[in-house]
Structure 1
Amino acid sequence: MEGHDMGKRRVTPGTSQLNLEIETGLRERLRAFTEERGEKVRHVVEAALRRHMDNPPPPPKPPELPPLPPVTASGSAPAMPGMGETAARAGGAETAKKKGKGK
């Protein structure tokens, strides 16, 4: 095949290639469907994609995440009342005193 460039395929203007793998059974159904109706695979796939995108099903729900482990107090500073663990991790009143904001 001298002189024949195998790397370039002729693409119809206004189109692009879509290469993907699908289940063998679905591909066989598609082949039988298009042969029976005398349609081209391209037209059937384009119509199915348009129909799906114009009338999409609800988006899939994200998977449920496992619960987070319980938060444990780390460090020697006690938590300020009403501030929960955040104050203890941030340094609480001790940090404020060092910055000159506390008495």
Structure 2
Amino acid sequence: MIKITFTTADGAEITTEANPGLTLMEAARDANVPGILAECGGACSCSTCHVYIDPEWVDRLPPKEEQEADLLDFAWEADETRSRLSCQITLTEEDDGLRVEVPAQQG
């Protein structure tokens, strides 16, 4: 199991565990993390699962693909370095301990 900590916009921390192969968005949804709307259900066609990756983790994740980068143009207060769509991050054992922040709003 992979341990992930989500920090919500109000500063609360939600730590959950997920199986490898799930996406970060699915882990957030399963843990009822507030602020992860995931309106497209993980089809990479909206930006409502936007998260900020902890700076220590940015370079440890696979890079953004073009479609994800394009959709992040529609994300609220996107950060060029830290913003990711959680539906595009498939969890692996190497992601154990991952920390992300949820923005104050989506879209």
State the TM-score, normalized to the length of structure 1: 0.19
Looking at secondary structure, tell me which structure has more helix per residue. 1
Structure with bigger strand share is 2
TM-score, length of structure 2 as denominator length: 0.19
